Amino acid sequence: MTGAPALTGTHREIQALAREFAEGEIAPHAGDWNRDHHVPVDLVRRMGALGLLGITVPEAYGGAGLDYTALCVVMEEIARADAGVSVAVAVQNGLAQQPILHHGSEAQKAEWLPLLAAGELLGAYALTEPDAGSDAAALRTRAEAEGDGGWRISGAKMWITNGGFADVFVVFARTGAGSRGISAFVTRTGPGLVVGKDIPKLGLHTSSTVELTFDGMRVGPEAMLGAPGEGLRVALATLDGGRITIAAQACGIARAALELAVEYAGQRTAFGGPIARFQGVQFPIADVAARLDAARLLTLHAAALRDAGRPHTVEGAKAKLVASRVAVDAADMCVQVLGGYGYSAEFPAERLYRDAKITEIYEGTSEIQRVVIARGLLGDAARG
């Protein structure tokens, strides 16, 4: 991994495993899957047998027992082959598992983590709503207490990744007033949960994104993650880690675009030789290469802080802000280098161009990342 801090032997082993799987099982089919809007759920489940769906889950719960750095190197390899598939990997390893791993009871960990790590169950994270995206504290979905300690959940969620095929949902619902009146729950699909059709998207055509409707869905008292009212804290802590994995995804997209542009520039001839001899081609490629290494370093630095148990909120925001911009610019550069072929669906450049944009939006928009970074620097003065 060019420009990255030294990785351990274990990191390199799982990186090689992910690369082999991505190059052999994902990349050859990515073009067809994206054209057909096919979500390869069976392939995602198969990753569980390779240890790619429970990377940070301790071995005691059936996972690989590795760290966030390992998750990042896996994410980059999968995203390099297909960004949509990498989203499913990110959600499974991050948004679906981390709330349970860090905030669940021992019983919840024992019940859910082994099945999620093995790919026997696939998970989703239900936080965003039609009117509550960046402002997560404004969510309206409600969980009404019942006499036996259970809850009935009613409301709507939007833009739920993996939602079309998930078996398990981490759901955030209002159990009281204000930001401290939000609680987290983990539950299987069941009566009262209506999964909408996949939402048409600009990119990520191999990823499932749906709207959910909760129509009085009943969950037992054992479904609550953490204490009542701790849901927003759980959600934000989970997103801190999710931003790092999306930064790694962005690095994978940027790397795929860079490699394609380099290969094409060396083969395409014009005016008596390869176009790689022109500075108008060389300089954009060089700029992306340098910025990609910087983005990867930021990403691995944030992952290392998380692995060490140190604060990483601002560092994760920096990594996602920089990496997502590099992904967008790298894809744009790739389309430009390939010219008409870059605009053609017969080459992956246009797919990379469409897939890259979402990295500046989900897991917190670039504007939100700037807010996080600024508040880290300026403290209360930045809050107005």
Of the listed 111, 259, 363, 367, which one is catalytic? 363
- What is the spatial distance between Cα 18 and Cα 50, in angstroms, rounded to a whole number? 9
Our CA dihedral for 46, 51, 55, 61, rounded to 10 degrees, sits at 100
Question: How many residues are given for the chain?
Answer: 384
Return all residues near 322 (Cβ < 8 A) that are at least 6 apart.
247, 291, 294, 295, 298
Pairing outcome for strands 269-270 and 151-161: unpaired
The alpha carbon of 272 is separated from its chain's Cα centroid by a whole number of angstroms, namely 44
Tokens of 318: 């920096």
Residue 303's contacts (CB-CB under 8 Å, 6 or more residues apart) are 67, 68, 69, 71, 72, 244, 248
Helices and strands: H and E segment counts in the chain? 13, 10
Nearest one of 250, 252, 265, 249 to 334, comparing CA atoms? 265
> For residue 212, what are the β-bridge partners?
157, 195
- 363 in active site: yes
Provide the annotated active-site residues: 363
